[in-house]
Amino acid sequence: MTISARVHYATLALIELALRQSEKTPVAVREITRRHGIPGPFLVQILRTLRSAGWVQSVRGSQGGYRLAVEPADLTLLEIAEAVGCPESSCQTDATDTPANRMVHEVWDAAGEASRAVLARTTLAEIAARTAQDDAVMFYI
Amino acid sequence: MTISARVHYATLALIELALRQSEKTPVAVREITRRHGIPGPFLVQILRTLRSAGWVQSVRGSQGGYRLAVEPADLTLLEIAEAVGCPESSCQTDATDTPANRMVHEVWDAAGEASRAVLARTTLAEIAARTAQDDAVMFYI
DNA sequence: ATCATACTTGACTAATCGGATCAACTTTCT
DNA sequence: AGAAAGTTGATCCGATTAGTCAAGTATGAT
């Protein structure tokens, strides 16, 4: 489980969309890039992936943009990471298959599983909510 | 926590040395590479790192080789991974510092911490012992 | 209608990194 | 002396990731 910039940006974008679900007009890419400092065309590339995963809808033309297409409570960070980031690497070494090799792999797998478990139990809804709280606090500072 | 081939090879080598601690003569690099299918000069590079960490001793000259220099029970896989692998990456994105960004980072950190915990509670002694068992079983097949 | 806005697509570049190799040198045993 | 091993430092390659560009298409506003 390596967290690439891709995954990070995807998550930020999804949070932004989740927080603005109630708005009538979709959210423009430009707004997201500005607010979160994400390199422009790169985000577009990422949004494309999110779209083919069915998690966001795009609206073309003037006043267009993106809109969340799923319930934030149904989307876990693990799903996001796996959809956008690298799809499982799991240590591609050409070591001989020996007892030692198997043992060691078991440990790596267990470690990977542990981190995946953390991501699996965190939903987009949760972290969007927590972000909203923080935003409110900032407002009063 | 990304498990690179480097870390994997280092662990295999250390297991080998742990299992042969009692031998009088040190273990030659060649033997380790052959037994585990590790690319030759690459292992040397890794052993250098292990040496400067103080975990193995090298003996030069003919009949030379490597020998474990610590108690296997005192060495965790986390220590090995951190010494040999990349020294903490933790998501270097140039995203703006916002509440959302902080929240997301917290989750990545938690995930990394979870996998690190697994590695921290596995010692070289443990997995060497388990490997030895497996080896014994194989012998009778 | 037409213009500006905004998404779509696909190819393309640039930098970084992990994996792996080489050559020249030193030490030590026999 | 000579063979066997480790030492060092430089270097290379290929894959992956991050990030960019340009040409095209759809749509609302005037």
Q: Determine if strand C comes within 7 Å of the CB of B25.
A: no
Question: A26 CA, C1 C1': separation in Å?
Answer: 26
Question: B45 CA, D8 C1': separation in Å?
Answer: 10
Distance CA B92, CA A76 (A): 22
Partner B contacted by A86 (CB < 8 A): no
Give the closest residue to A134 by CA, choosing from B81, B123, B11, B101: B101
Partner B contacted by A141 (CB < 8 A): no
Q: Which residues of chain B fall below pLDDT 70?
A: 1, 86-92, 135-141
The DSSP output letter for A59 is E
Report pLDDT digits (tens) over B91-102. Answer: 667 778 899 999
Q: Which of B94, B102, B117 sits opposite A114 (nearest CB)?
A: B117
Give the per-residue pLDDT at A64. Answer: 94
Q: Which residues of A touch B102 (CB under 8 A)?
A: 134
| Minimum distance, in Å, between the CA of residue A63 and any CA atom of chain B | 25
Tell me how far CA of residue A110 lies from CA of A85, A117, B116, in angstroms: 20, 10, 10
- Rounded mean pLDDT, A73-88: 88
Tell me how far CA of residue A20 lies from CA of A14, A17, A51, B54, B105, in angstroms: 10, 5, 17, 55, 21
Q: Which of B39, B110, B118 sits opposite A111 (nearest CB)?
A: B118
| Minimum distance, in Å, between the CA of residue A70 and any CA atom of chain B | 19
Question: B9 CA, C6 C1': separation in Å?
Answer: 50
pLDDT category at A116 given cuts 50, 70, 90 is very high
| Nearest protein residue by Cα to C1' of nucleotide D20 | A41
Which residue type does A9 have? Y
- Rounded mean pLDDT, A12-35: 95
pLDDT category at A133 given cuts 50, 70, 90 is confident
Question: Is 70 exceeded by the pLDDT of residue A31?
Answer: yes
Give the per-residue pLDDT at B40. Answer: 87
Report pLDDT digits (tens) over B22-38. Answer: 998 999 999 999 999 99
How many CB atoms sit inside 10 A of residue B99's CB?
17
Contact A46, A83 (CB under 8 A): no
Question: What is the percentage of chain B residues whose pLDDT exceeds 90?
Answer: 79
Q: Which of residues 56-85 of B touch A (CB under 8 A)?
A: 77
Question: Which of B6, B9, B46, B104 to mutate to probe the A interface, most A CBs <10 Å?
Answer: B104
| Nearest protein residue by Cα to C1' of nucleotide C4 | A62
